Structure 1
């Protein structure tokens, strides 16, 4: 592994193909024999530092259409948190089901799960039938793993019955020194970004693109008022940028003055600090409070000059969904994913049915949407929202930050990269956008 790293750091990428692939590597795992470790522990008290381990992993066999990638950096997403606290269920069920689909997929059914759905790194090897990528290529990966053996997936790969999220519903993810991916997950690394910056947009940037911009999502247009929950977070920070770039009017909902300031630095003018203004959308655990929906709607109209949101960018789920349905304009759209505060949504259907609103479910992105989202990053039109970086050994702490919402934007993880700041190719483009690239740093 050190020889591979030396070749990457020494800009000798052409030598990668001649170097042997290690028989094992470091990977961040959860273990099947620990799935009950948090039984009886309240959700917010479950600690990823206890369940995420850095283990030595045997390098998996390489199959057709696949690649092994030397991972320089990765990032933490909420699916890493779910995996680490075994909620809403253990991911080992995903691995067992995947393992039953083919002899090759059986590799993923292990008593460990190497997690992580982002990476930036260098291709080490490609399997049979791969022509578009070669050893030494600098890449990022999106997290759509799809078999494409069914007709349903050929119009939109997210509809394929064998669609999975790599590193969550498959094994050998990106929080490791080496990752196993399908080569149709690979995209060119943006040349002006460091490894850790390039690693952080993949999942959330692509998800926000489909959810907000794509025809498969809300199909946002110029002038749309877009309510964005968690507008400084992993998903919301990209949704805010897409809204601003697309001529829409974001109304950014955050939970602290520091997060409000981040949104203003991105260019948003309409910001609601829900904590400071004391919104409580539930009277108790079982009873929503429609009067708070109405107070929230009035506050939005106050900011927009009387307009309701054309689009609500919804991902908190249970805590906010009733308010989201209520505040959307007549004929408006609530586009939803993730449900980080809970999956069982409660809303008043009268405001949906009588006002002809729509709820659209959106999940990650197909390859084309992910590629378009990455292209915007590469052109310096959308910027990474990296706030803090941890070493691989401290991935548990990084996941705890996300679990407790004690982070801004994205939290990165250095894998093979020995330090931050490496991997930049286009220094001129970087200098042009340096302030935007560093906007979330140190906040």
Structure 2
């Protein structure tokens, strides 16, 4: 697929013009190969190199079925599930694809010897399958990553409880790190007109996840005045958590790993910041023994920043490394809300601090369509902003994933797919100008673009 195709899609004046464009038989995609899925079996996770597992190759273009849409992907982004996919950890994703395929019908297409990964995109609708009413060829869209079948009753109160709930581009094929992507039509949402392609692609997964985790009644139901401890506050999830806390009148206590990341949090408007690298918190004495004295030191530091108060909400996602401290420092009756385990899935904590102080641990996982739509609405209106710090071309996707694996990133790491360069896709320059500083605050000072 070449630049001429991308230019034709962007330049097409209406639905008919986009619909008339021939769809390529093959497209360029970042893939994992089934034959490689055991390549890291004898290597510790920290020493694995995800770039070695990622391949850029042409794959056949899928035909959108009922309720589906084929998208010309202008830009995408990487997430921790992209890292886990490329590390083949905790299990190779081909097990997910085979399990999905066994449900039959169109799902059978997902069991391929390759897996097109990626759970974010911004692009243009190329084709829609039968029954799609809301979206048409030529629409500029972003996609959230919830894939559901909704043939079980459990999913009709909260679609995240659908037994067939999956994460697109992680537990399904035809993901967003590619020139084309196949999605369900109920994954689509309008692209913010004041953002570039790469900016618009970056919030999807993390923004929706944080909305459910903090704002939704399915999560912590954050309120005005709440003290919210946010781990990794300058990262992909944490940077949105800080924005939501500030926008809701809550008090974010930001935990970061460097002075540079602390400054990013202050640029967002946070006042309470803990640089855990400088203050050298060591929550584990060794690989098997936690250090409660460090929990207490950490809790005292939080109270210094809050005027003597403990966190009402602890925004958890590192997992094993921090979970014991998180349970300890939450206030009596407080909530530890967890959505991931980037430092390890097996959590240890002293349960006395949980049950005797009536604390709650609440698990959340992405968001339902309503929550994702509401989160995207805030992006569209310029109330919440992307946290894009750097963008790589699809040819260099291995480096983008490696940045996350080794925590070299701030905010989100974007990937250009069909977009020939950064800066395209803006339709509302007036709104963009109003929020330009906020849009660019995660970019290196010398590299900020208008």
| Alignment TM class, shorter chain as reference | over 0.9
1:372 matched residue in structure 2: 374
Contact 2:148 2:162 in 1 (8 A): yes
2:350 matched residue in structure 1: 348
SS at match of 1:226: strand
Alpha-carbon distance in 2 for matches of 1:21, 1:150: 34
Counterparts of residues 42-441 of structure 1 (less than 5 Å): 42-441=44-443
Contact 2:226 2:311 in 1 (8 A): yes
Q: TM-score, normalised by structure 1?
A: 0.99
C-alpha displacement of 1:339: 0.4
Alpha-carbon distance in 2 for matches of 1:442, 1:152: 45
C-alpha distance after superposition, 1:303-336 (max 9, x if no partner): 1010000000000000000000000000000000
C-alpha distance after superposition, 1:369-427 (max 9, x if no partner): 00000000000000000000000010000000000000000000000000000000000
Structure 1 vs Structure 2 CA RMSD: 0.9
Alpha-carbon distance in 1 for matches of 2:33, 2:203: 27
Alpha-carbon distance in 2 for matches of 1:8, 1:284: 56
Alpha-carbon distance in 2 for matches of 1:375, 1:297: 36
Alpha-carbon distance in 2 for matches of 1:123, 1:26: 17
Alpha-carbon distance in 2 for matches of 1:11, 1:385: 30
Contact 1:115 1:168 in 2 (8 A): yes
Instruction: State whether structure 2 residue 20 is matched by structure 1 residue 18.
Output: yes
C-alpha displacement of 1:284: 0.5
Contact 1:4 1:16 in 2 (8 A): no
C-alpha distance after superposition, 1:79-123 (max 9, x if no partner): 000000101110000000000001210000011000000000000
Alpha-carbon distance in 2 for matches of 1:75, 1:83: 14
Q: TM-score, normalised by structure 2?
A: 0.97
2:448 matched residue in structure 1: none
Alpha-carbon distance in 2 for matches of 1:281, 1:219: 28
Alpha-carbon distance in 2 for matches of 1:326, 1:340: 20
SS at match of 2:278: coil
SS at match of 2:421: coil
Alpha-carbon distance in 2 for matches of 1:13, 1:285: 60
SS at match of 1:252: strand
C-alpha distance after superposition, 1:127-166 (max 9, x if no partner): 0000100000000000000001010000100000000000
Unaligned runs of 5+ in 2: 446-450
C-alpha displacement of 1:39: 2.0
C-alpha displacement of 1:6: 1.8
C-alpha displacement of 1:211: 0.3
SS at match of 1:265: helix
C-alpha displacement of 1:11: 5.1
Unaligned runs of 5+ in 1: none
Q: Report the count of equivalent residues.
A: 443
Contact 1:66 1:183 in 2 (8 A): yes
- After superposing on structure 2, the runs of 4+ consecutive aligned residues of structure 1 that deviate more than 6 Å are none
SS at match of 2:413: strand
SS at match of 1:422: coil
C-alpha distance after superposition, 1:265-323 (max 9, x if no partner): 00000000001000010011111111111100000001101000000000000000000
Alpha-carbon distance in 1 for matches of 2:106, 2:14: 29
SS at match of 2:273: strand
Alpha-carbon distance in 1 for matches of 2:7, 2:89: 39
SS at match of 2:241: helix
C-alpha displacement of 1:12: 2.8
C-alpha distance after superposition, 1:216-259 (max 9, x if no partner): 00000000000000000000000000000000000000000000
Contact 1:31 1:112 in 2 (8 A): yes
Alpha-carbon distance in 2 for matches of 1:6, 1:35: 36
C-alpha distance after superposition, 1:24-62 (max 9, x if no partner): 100000000001111222212211110111010101132
